[in-house]
Amino acid sequence: MALEILIDWFPYLFSGIVLTLGLVAAALIIGVGLGLPLALGQVYGTLPVRFIISIYVWFFRGLPVLVLLFLFYFGLFPALGLDLPAFYVGAIVLGLWGAAYQSQVFRGAIQSISEGQMTAARSLGMSRFQAIRSVILPQAMRIALPGWSNQYPEILTESSVCYAIGVAELLTRSSQIVSQTYVTMPIYLACAVIFILLSYAGTSGIHILEKKIAIPGFGPGGS
């Protein structure tokens, strides 16, 4: 009975999976795309730059995602005259929130690279920018990867709060099915299993990547 309902409703649930993965992908892209420059600014920036970044990090790490979501969805975006669909708001908020955490993962990795690497690069005539790009970052990103890999399951699970602003992601779809069919636990169990499988698949992928880019004797798991 429950199984039949699940099979019947699976296409509906599946569209929720697609949206959840969409949220996660967008949030991770924003997270890296913004988190990395934030980290570089915090390490190499001038005092005002570092100050502004620390405010950013403090703000986004200090608030629950749900609160951020409400602030942006009901407050900031309408105030700016932007009538964005809930999905975009969710992706942006998760991305900005994740960037704050990811910037600290990247910052730690960049700072763990010994001073000598920059010194040697500069002694060969590289500019600071060239040294960061071809020497510091390739090393820092490898060191950051294990810590960064936390971000995927974290954003994946946290994306379910977009339920609160009506994004039709996995949890939203599940609860809609529940209210249509009056079957509760099997549906939420299915929802949970899907979350866990998505989490497992993603972290396994990152582990494979870690092994693939590992360098003998370098960084965590590199030896």
Partner 1 sequence: MTEEKYILRVENIKKAFGTNQVLQGVSVNVRKGETVCFIGPSGTGKSTLLRCINQLTIPDSGKIFLNDEEVTHAGPRINYFRQKIGMVFQNFFLFDHLTAVRNVEIALLKVKKLPPKEAREKALYELRQVGMADWADHYPAELSGGQAQRVSIARALAMDPEIMLFDEPTSALDPELTREVLEVMKKLALQGMTMLVVTHEMGFACSVANKICFMEHGHIKEEGSPAELLNNPEFERCKAFIGEFREYSQ
Closest to 3 in 3D by CA, of 196, 193, 190: 190
Sign of CA dihedral 138, 136, 129, 151: positive
Near partner 1 by CB under 8 A: residue from 29, 55, 120, 196: 120
Closer CB to partner 1, residue 140 or residue 156? 140
Q: Which two tokens stand for residue 87?
A: 């999905």
Near partner 1 by CB under 8 A: residue from 33, 64, 218, 221: 218
Near partner 1 by CB under 8 A: residue from 2, 21, 49, 126: 126
Helices then strands, counting H and E runs in the chain, come out as 11, 0
Find the shortest distance in angstroms from Cβ 122 to partner 1. 6
Indicate the SS3 state at residue 215.
strand
Near partner 1 by CB under 8 A: residue from 7, 125, 185, 212: 125
Q: How far apart are CA 150 and CA 13, in angstroms?
A: 26
Indicate the SS3 state at residue 20.
helix
Near partner 1 by CB under 8 A: residue from 33, 62, 138, 166: 138
Q: Is 116 in the site for partner 1 (CB under 8 A)?
A: yes
Closer CB to partner 1, residue 134 or residue 179? 134
Q: Is 207 in the site for partner 1 (CB under 8 A)?
A: no
